[in-house]
């Protein structure tokens, strides 16, 4: 009840189902396999690490969909600039 005054919404199982379905279908509909995503991630790490120090554990590579197109989203936390000799 308090949530209704504070404007915080209870997340219903319906909303959870919808979000999970939308996400799983983006993967089902694309030809991008999890193996390919992993390979892509490894290559990205290699390339970016040449220039920046990154948090390899914190990297997130996800597929999303907007305006009818699949999109690849990469979130790569930067720790600092790589000092070059």
- Applying CB under 8 A, which residues contact other proteins? 1, 4, 10, 12-15, 17-18, 20-22, 24-25, 28-29
Question: Cβ of residue 7: shortest distance to other proteins, in angstroms?
Answer: 14
Looking at beta carbons only, is 17 or 52 nearer to other proteins? 17
Which pair of tokens denotes residue 75? 């979130």
Which pair of tokens denotes residue 25? 């279908």
Dist CA 17 CA 26 (whole Å): 14
Picking from 80, 44, 72, the residue whose alpha carbon sits closest to that of residue 59 is 44
Question: Cβ of residue 24: shortest distance to other proteins, in angstroms?
Answer: 6
Looking at beta carbons only, is 8 or 84 nearer to other proteins? 8
Question: Cβ of residue 3: shortest distance to other proteins, in angstroms?
Answer: 9
For residue 57, how many other CB atoms are within 10 A of its CB? 6
């Amino acid at each position: 009840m308090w949530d209704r005054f504070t404007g915080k919404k209870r997340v219903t199982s319906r909303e959870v189902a919808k979000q999970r379905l939308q996400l799983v279908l983006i993967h089902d509909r694309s030809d991008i396999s999890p193996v390919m995503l992993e390979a892509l991630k490894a290559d990205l790490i290699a390339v970016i690490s040449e220039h920046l120090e990154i948090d390899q554990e914190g990297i997130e590579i996800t597929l999303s969909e907007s305006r009818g197109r699949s999109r690849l989203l990469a979130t790569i936390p930067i720790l600092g600039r790589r000092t070059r000799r």
